[in-house]
Amino acid sequence: MANYFSLLLVVVTFASGLIWLIDSLLFAPKRKARLQEAATAEGAGFQESPPVPYIVDTAQQIFPVIAFVLVLRSFLYEPFQIPSGSMMPTLLVGDFILVEKYAYGVKDPVFRSKLIETGSPERGDVAVFKYPEDPNIDYIKRVVGLPGDTVVYKNKQVFIKPKCDEQRSECPGLKAVTTTFVERGEYVQEMTQLLRYTENLGDVEHDILRHPFRDIPPTHYYSQPGTRSNEWVVPEGQYFVLGDNRDNSRDSRFWGFVPDDNLVGQAVAIWISFEFERKPDSWLPTWIPTGIRFDRVGGID
């Protein structure tokens, strides 16, 4: 849907701008000349504003607005809605976020080829990207593994061996990502109280959730040739991502890596958050919010 909307914005902007330009260069001068001739023949004063055709007037009205939206959405910031709980507790269903489109490079809005290099994902970033198995779908996950890293997920624990620079005499080994237990019971899934931990990914500190009983067998994971079933070596130009709700997220453990070309941008803020919780006997449609979570508005860790 986002791809089609981007294409529609480009088409409408181009069409309205072209109509305005052609009219300004070809038809507006002729209308003005005819009006002047008629005024001279009748001995009336000169009129500087001849009537403008409806389609031209519409193009003149919408072009600045559509062009502004196109530039804002394509190169600066784009709004997204969180539809699932895979990034809880960082992002909840009903959160509306802003994604910084230029964080990982300026791309054209249609073919998504990179025009300007502006940066690359860092460990701990919350990134939006085109789902590798279906680029028409936008996904949001946390960047855990960078190009060249070795990532291991074992017993609900993340281990990372950073890429080793060939110029270094000693390379760091596989090391567990530090986690600290916070509490249990704030979030419930399938009648089970989830465990909340604080995880440190480099300089980024954020919270994750674990299901105390659910354990995904390594045989269900994405299989990378030359590695174990719970181990992945991140290829160059690609990234390994995980959901913060670790036992309720389909991420790189299941479908592999995110190519740089699929990156959309970095999630930087929640601009509004709606609640959708309601009683079973409620007559309201499920898409109507039941409240606003003002305390969630702000930056994303």
| pLDDT tens for each residue of 9-51 | 678 888 888 998 998 888 888 888 777 777 677 665 555 667 7
pLDDT at 5: 62
Answer yes or no: 169 catalytic. Answer: no
| pLDDT tens for each residue of 162-206 | 988 766 667 778 899 999 999 998 998 888 999 999 999 988 999
- With b meaning 16 or more CB within 10 Å and e meaning fewer, what string describes 17-31? bebbeebeeeebeeb
User: Is residue 55 domain-shared with residue 91, that is, in the same domain?
Assistant: no
pLDDT at 6: 65
> Where does a domain end: 50, 75, 100?
75
Does residue 118 register a pLDDT over 80? yes
User: Is residue 178 domain-shared with residue 264, that is, in the same domain?
Assistant: yes
User: Is residue 65 domain-shared with residue 112, that is, in the same domain?
Assistant: no
- Specify the residue for token string 């567990």: 176
pLDDT at 182: 95
Q: Which segment, 71-75, 114-118, 260-264, is predicted with the most confidence on average?
A: 260-264
How large is the C-alpha radius of gyration of the chain? 26
pLDDT at 264: 94
- DSSP code for 219: G
Residue with the bigger pLDDT between 170 and 60: it is 60
User: Is residue 44 domain-shared with residue 147, that is, in the same domain?
Assistant: no
The residue segments making up the domain with residue 149 are 82-299
User: Is residue 207 domain-shared with residue 98, that is, in the same domain?
Assistant: yes
User: Is residue 43 domain-shared with residue 133, that is, in the same domain?
Assistant: no
pLDDT at 126: 97
pLDDT at 3: 58
Query: How many Å separate Cα 191 from the centre of its chain?
Result: 31
> Where does a domain end: 10, 41, 75?
75
Percent of the chain with pLDDT over 70: 93
User: Is residue 204 domain-shared with residue 183, that is, in the same domain?
Assistant: yes
| pLDDT tens for each residue of 207-243 | 999 999 888 888 889 988 888 889 999 999 999 999 9
Q: What is the DSSP string of 238-297?
A: EEEEE-SBTTS--SHHHH--EEGGGEEEEEEEEEEEEE----TT--S-TTS-SEE-GGG-
User: Is residue 99 domain-shared with residue 174, that is, in the same domain?
Assistant: yes
Q: What is the pTM of this model?
A: 0.82
User: Is residue 62 domain-shared with residue 199, that is, in the same domain?
Assistant: no
User: Is residue 33 domain-shared with residue 175, that is, in the same domain?
Assistant: no
Number of domains observed in the structure of the chain? 2
Does residue 83 register a pLDDT over 70? yes
User: Is residue 70 domain-shared with residue 109, that is, in the same domain?
Assistant: no
User: Is residue 70 domain-shared with residue 95, that is, in the same domain?
Assistant: no
Does residue 62 register a pLDDT over 90? no
Q: What is the dihedral of CA 261, 145, 188, 300, to 10 degrees?
A: -70
Catalytic choice (101, 107, 141, 161): 141
> Where does a domain end: 56, 75, 94?
75
Quick check: 101 and 77 in contact, CB under 8 A? yes
Nearest to 10 by CA among 107, 141, 144, 85: 107
Cis-peptide into 225, omega within 30 deg: no
Answer yes or no: 141 catalytic. Answer: yes
Give the whole-angstrom CA distance, residue 277 versus residue 25.
57
CATH of the domain at 182: 2.10.109.10
- Specify the residue for token string 């909307």: 5
Q: What is the number of alpha carbons within 13 Å of residue 201 lying toward its C-beta?
A: 25
